[in-house]
Amino acid sequence: MKIPAPVPGALLVLTLARLAGAATADVSSHGGVATVKAVRAPQPIHVDGRLDDAPWTLASPASGFRQRDPEEGAAPSERTELRVAYDEDALYVGIRLYDREPAKIVRQLSRRDLSGDADRVTLYLDPHHDHLTGAQFEVSAAGVQRDAVIFNDSWDDDSWDAVWESAVSVDEEGWTAELRIPFSQLRFTHAESAVWGINVARFIHRRNESDWLEMVPKKESGVASRMAHLVDLEGIRPRRAFSALPYVVARGEYVAPSEGDPFNDGSRAFAGIGADLKYGITSNLTLDATINPDFGQVEVDPAVVNLTQFETFFQEKRPFFIEGAQIFSNVGRNGANNFWGFNRSEPDLFYTRRIGRSPRGEPESDFVDAPDASTILGAAKLTGKTAAGWSVGVLEALTAREWAQTVSGDSSGREEVEPLTNYFVGRAHRDLRRGGVGLLATSVLRDLGESPLDGVLVRSASVAGLDGYYFLGPKKDWVLSGRLAAGWLQGSSAAIEEQQLSSRRYFQRPDAAQVRLDPAATRLSGWTGSANLNRNSGDLQLNAALWATSPGFEANDLGFGTRSDRWGGHVVGTWRKTDPDKLTRRRSLSVAKWYALNFDGDRQGDGLHVFGNAQLRNYWNVGGNGFKRWRAWDDSRSRGGPTMVASGAWGAGAWLETDTRKRASLALEYFHFESEHGGREDNYWTSLNLKPSSSLSLSLGPTLYKAHNVAQWVQEVADPLAAATYGSRYVFATLDQDEWSGTVRLNWILSPRLSLQLYAQPLLSGGAYQELKELAAPRSFDFLVYGRGGSTIRYEADTAAYTVDPDGPGPAEPFTVDNPDFNFKSLRINAVFRWEWRLGSALYVVWTQNRENSDYPGDFDMSRDARALWSAPADDVFLVKFTYRVGR
């Protein structure tokens, strides 16, 4: 089967973008703001952190900064001056940050794209002058860069990494930041006399003071819509970006082999080449492509113990997929500045971790050599925004057919574990004067042929949706937003049946009224949608939502969702006070009421939440929260069985964080949960942050979790004599779980371009299952405990299994339950040395180690388990990666 590329969808998005045309910048749309005049540089400017080049003498300084914190609207404690110049190729920004106590300027080094504990200045630009999008460039007094794109007026995404120059210097009058931003890194439309949006924010670390050229009141929202005007940009032309980043990589793996494993003698080595490309098709549309990408320098995912029926969500960390992701992920999320959850089963329509995921095939053999991830043969991404307001994005990726080598006894072979797969997503969004509209389409096509995977994976999966927002009232502080999407799956009857049986819908539920399992079906379809009402500004804010996901909707081939067959809503009111008083600098209180139901009308959740937080006068932060959940129904706890009672419950917690500007800061958090049937949970979380020097920082975050679950799922046993529960026995147990985990982060930043980062995550988790029992009746929380009432239970140590006879001498057949006790120990270490040896080019040296141990199931002892973990065999991976950037 040849997988067709979804060319029509891509052409549609490109056509819409080109038809949008150009728009004239609206200088008067937010009058009364400052105006900054740019000057053309008659000669080159050398970026060295000193404003002594001749062009700077021609630029008029812009001042008039005002405090936003700590005293909103007050005059700043120190003077700041902004100058802007430009030439044919770049925008130059010079910022003089006066300080009467220059010895107190904080110059803590940090990783790139991290707003470290240092004095810093941030430049905001809106080159389109659309009051909704833009870019920001931040430089600390230590010379560390951070950049981000601005979208939805007030949100930012720092996954974007532009290539720009900056330099800083400190003298007896304060410090200076000098920036050179190539026009190739910005998106704008040609105009003989252009007007951009511009703003500058300065942060004085020791005073916790922020000063803005155009100050945004704390009770209001907006970044792109709150900028000053940058004028006198005469005759500048957008430059098409072009860069190529080829790489070479060498990798060595040292993995402890299993006895007799023919695929692993303890070590193996690999080498590879690839490239990342960036090309400006037009001044506003950029094509990013990657060939044989390598993500070896990306931080490893943390280990987790997941005892639920739902998939664990992991954040995307791969640079190619992170950059520009907000274009695809903001479906239904424009206009408003917050979206609360509360059991909101609304799926993400696009989840990039699906591309290059672990193969789905699981060969049954004595020894298996299978890839950990699907190979991405190539991927391309087209993104941009026109002056008329069309944000566009198209992503196409192709992953390879993957095979596993197998050996059983004297026979060997190979088995397909992942088919050749094409992924596509297209997005277009048009911003209008009082709102916006958009569309999204995704597609997954798999070349399954006669593969046995045809019974596991669907052949095609598609989603198409619309979204929009509209501002109510002249002040635009109220906004109505929403989205509606439909999805379709096609595949073999076995693959579609697996989708019906999945934890996302459980169509086999014997007491469900609206859904039925159809083993002959070869298609599955459904829809999802939501409507949200927000008040974005003021002392009193509101978020209200109605949402629904139909039973047949499925987005997980290229999205992420845990439940369909859900609908519900919530209302959240937030009161906030930003003016300081005798005790606090700011405080807020939120109260929320929410509901969730299935399409049978059974209430799946009914809760009330309260959240409060405050910043004290000494810059400590404190907060607390609590909730009450009333008794409801749970149609998924029995994992395809009958509906059960969802226990009423309550919980409360508090947190404290000391002043993070100090050399040492501490954060503490505790949360307690109790259910009406005796369940309990306690969470203790701590974070200690140390900055012993300007180049070294250390973060320690231990967490302790203790739980007593009175009805932890174990297994289902078919038995026609179990008439009360529809011909199956649903086995549960009481589970006592203890878990200790931690994160250690060490950053040794030798210079803004030279760093060593260490991440370690130990995890100790033990669970003891007791009192095996079965659900007594549907729509209850009653159980028949094995070993009582005539039933018997016996543990067989040699097989590590329980033998259960549910009615003793009665006619029911005995069955076995494997001992579910566990003791999982894991240590993951990731160390990355990075040297940006020239602008945009880097050398990475990476070491990753993984240790695991499962001794002592059901018996948790922190000291003993920690020793067992350290003595466990280590799997080590070493990687060296060299990149070289060419382009402009």
What pLDDT does 296 receive? 83
Alpha carbons 497 and 305: distance in angstroms, whole number: 28
Give a three-class secondary structure readout of 211-235: EECCCCCCCCCCCHHHCEEEEEEEC
Q: What letter does residue 558 receive in the DSSP assignment?
A: T
Please choose, from the candidates 606, 601, 647, 628, the residue with its C-alpha nearest in 3D space to the C-alpha of residue 783.
647
Secondary-structure percent of the chain, ordered helix, strand, coil, rounded to 5: 10, 50, 40
- pLDDT tens, 73-108? 999 999 999 999 999 999 999 999 999 999 999 999
C-alpha to C-alpha distances, 370 to 190, 260, 843, nearest whole angstrom: 52, 17, 29
What pLDDT does 200 receive? 97
What pLDDT does 25 receive? 33
Alpha carbons 802 and 362: distance in angstroms, whole number: 27
Alpha carbons 709 and 3: distance in angstroms, whole number: 48
Residues 6+ apart with CB under 8 A from 861: none
Confidence bin at 44 (pLDDT 50/70/90): confident
Alpha carbons 55 and 40: distance in angstroms, whole number: 8
Tokens of 581: 């008083």
Per mean pLDDT, which of 151-165, 343-357, 402-416, 587-601 is the most reliable? 587-601
Helix (H, G, I), strand (E, B) or coil at 718: strand
Cα 235 to its chain centre, rounded Å, is 40
Per mean pLDDT, which of 84-93, 334-343, 431-440 is the most reliable? 84-93
pLDDT at 273 over 60: yes
C-alpha to C-alpha distances, 688 to 83, 698, 750, nearest whole angstrom: 40, 8, 22
Confidence bin at 32 (pLDDT 50/70/90): low
Q: Give 160 or 39, the one with higher predicted confidence.
A: 39
pLDDT at 793 over 80: yes
Residues 6+ apart with CB under 8 A from 327: 151, 383, 391, 392, 393, 427, 429
User: Pairing between strand 35-40 and 80-86?
Assistant: parallel
C-alpha to C-alpha distances, 808 to 361, 692, 719, 823, nearest whole angstrom: 41, 67, 15, 32
Identify whether the C-beta of residue 339 lies closer than 8 Å to the C-beta of residue 176.
Answer: no
The full set of domains in the chain, from first to last, is 41-240 (2.60.40.1190)
Identify whether the C-beta of residue 81 lies closer than 8 Å to the C-beta of residue 174.
Answer: no
Identify whether the C-beta of residue 598 lies closer than 8 Å to the C-beta of residue 635.
Answer: yes
Identify whether the C-beta of residue 226 lies closer than 8 Å to the C-beta of residue 201.
Answer: no
Alpha carbons 599 and 567: distance in angstroms, whole number: 7
Identify whether the C-beta of residue 204 lies closer than 8 Å to the C-beta of residue 78.
Answer: yes
What pLDDT does 17 receive? 37
Identify whether the C-beta of residue 184 lies closer than 8 Å to the C-beta of residue 221.
Answer: no
C-alpha to C-alpha distances, 169 to 18, 97, 139, 177, 646, nearest whole angstrom: 44, 10, 11, 7, 62
Q: Give 684 or 23, the one with higher predicted confidence.
A: 684
- pLDDT tens, 692-705? 999 999 999 999 99
Tokens of 494: 């076995």
List beta partners, residue 535.
Answer: 478, 542
C-alpha to C-alpha distances, 105 to 96, 173, 340, nearest whole angstrom: 14, 11, 39
What pLDDT does 461 receive? 97
- pLDDT tens, 114-134? 877 899 999 999 998 888 889
Alpha carbons 167 and 176: distance in angstroms, whole number: 8
C-alpha to C-alpha distances, 27 to 387, 390, 579, nearest whole angstrom: 14, 20, 32
The gap between the terminal CA atoms of the chain, to the nearest Å, is 41
Identify whether the C-beta of residue 307 lies closer than 8 Å to the C-beta of residue 282.
Answer: no
Q: Give 572 or 383, the one with higher predicted confidence.
A: 572
Helix (H, G, I), strand (E, B) or coil at 453: helix
Torsions phi, psi for 218 (to 5 deg): -70, -20
pLDDT at 1 over 80: no
Residues 6+ apart with CB under 8 A from 696: 746, 747, 748, 749
What pLDDT does 387 receive? 61
Percent of the chain predicted with pLDDT > 70: 96
Tokens of 807: 């009615």
> Of 142-156, 489-503, 630-644, which range is least confident?
142-156
What pLDDT does 333 receive? 86
Identify whether the C-beta of residue 830 lies closer than 8 Å to the C-beta of residue 876.
Answer: no
Please choose, from the candidates 618, 564, 566, 610, the residue with its C-alpha nearest in 3D space to the C-alpha of residue 589.
610
Alpha carbons 237 and 228: distance in angstroms, whole number: 21
C-alpha to C-alpha distances, 220 to 153, 343, 425, nearest whole angstrom: 12, 28, 34
Cα dihedral 306, 307, 311, 316, rounded to 10, equals -10
Alpha carbons 675 and 200: distance in angstroms, whole number: 51
pTM of the model: 0.88
What pLDDT does 844 receive? 95
What pLDDT does 860 receive? 95
pLDDT at 691 over 60: yes
List beta partners, residue 832.
Answer: 757, 846
Strand (E) positions, 494-583? 523-535, 540-549, 566-577
Percent of the chain predicted with pLDDT > 90: 73
Helix (H, G, I), strand (E, B) or coil at 329: helix
Q: What single-letter amino acid sits at 125? A: L
What pLDDT does 10 receive? 40
Mean pLDDT in residue range 251-255: 92
Torsions phi, psi for 82 (to 5 deg): -120, 135
pLDDT at 31 over 80: no
What pLDDT does 7 receive? 38
Tokens of 232: 């006198």
Cα dihedral 382, 384, 389, 393, rounded to 10, equals 30
Residues 6+ apart with CB under 8 A from 786: 772, 773, 774, 792, 793, 802, 804, 806
pLDDT at 16 over 50: no
Name the strand (E) or helix (H) holding 789: none
Alpha carbons 55 and 69: distance in angstroms, whole number: 33
Torsions phi, psi for 327 (to 5 deg): -65, -35
Cα 507 to its chain centre, rounded Å, is 30
The rounded mean pLDDT for the chain is 91
Please choose, from the candidates 575, 512, 486, the residue with its C-alpha nearest in 3D space to the C-alpha of residue 539.
575
Alpha carbons 169 and 151: distance in angstroms, whole number: 32
Alpha carbons 740 and 743: distance in angstroms, whole number: 11
Q: Burial, 723: exposed, middle or buried (Cβ in 10 Å; 0-12, 13-18, 19+)?
A: exposed
Alpha carbons 706 and 766: distance in angstroms, whole number: 10
Identify whether the C-beta of residue 188 lies closer than 8 Å to the C-beta of residue 196.
Answer: yes
Identify the sign of the CA torsion 288, 121, 239, 431.
positive
Identify whether the C-beta of residue 403 lies closer than 8 Å to the C-beta of residue 375.
Answer: no
Confidence bin at 265 (pLDDT 50/70/90): confident
CA atoms within 13 A on the CB side of 573: 5
Q: Burial, 192: exposed, middle or buried (Cβ in 10 Å; 0-12, 13-18, 19+)?
A: exposed
pLDDT at 3 over 50: no
Strand (E) positions, 402-459? 402-408, 411-418, 420-431, 435-447
Identify whether the C-beta of residue 179 lies closer than 8 Å to the C-beta of residue 198.
Answer: no
Cα 64 to its chain centre, rounded Å, is 38
Alpha carbons 240 and 284: distance in angstroms, whole number: 8
Confidence bin at 26 (pLDDT 50/70/90): very low
Confidence bin at 11 (pLDDT 50/70/90): very low
Strand (E) positions, 228-323? 228-234, 242-254, 268-280, 285-291
C-alpha to C-alpha distances, 425 to 88, 164, 316, 379, nearest whole angstrom: 36, 30, 16, 12
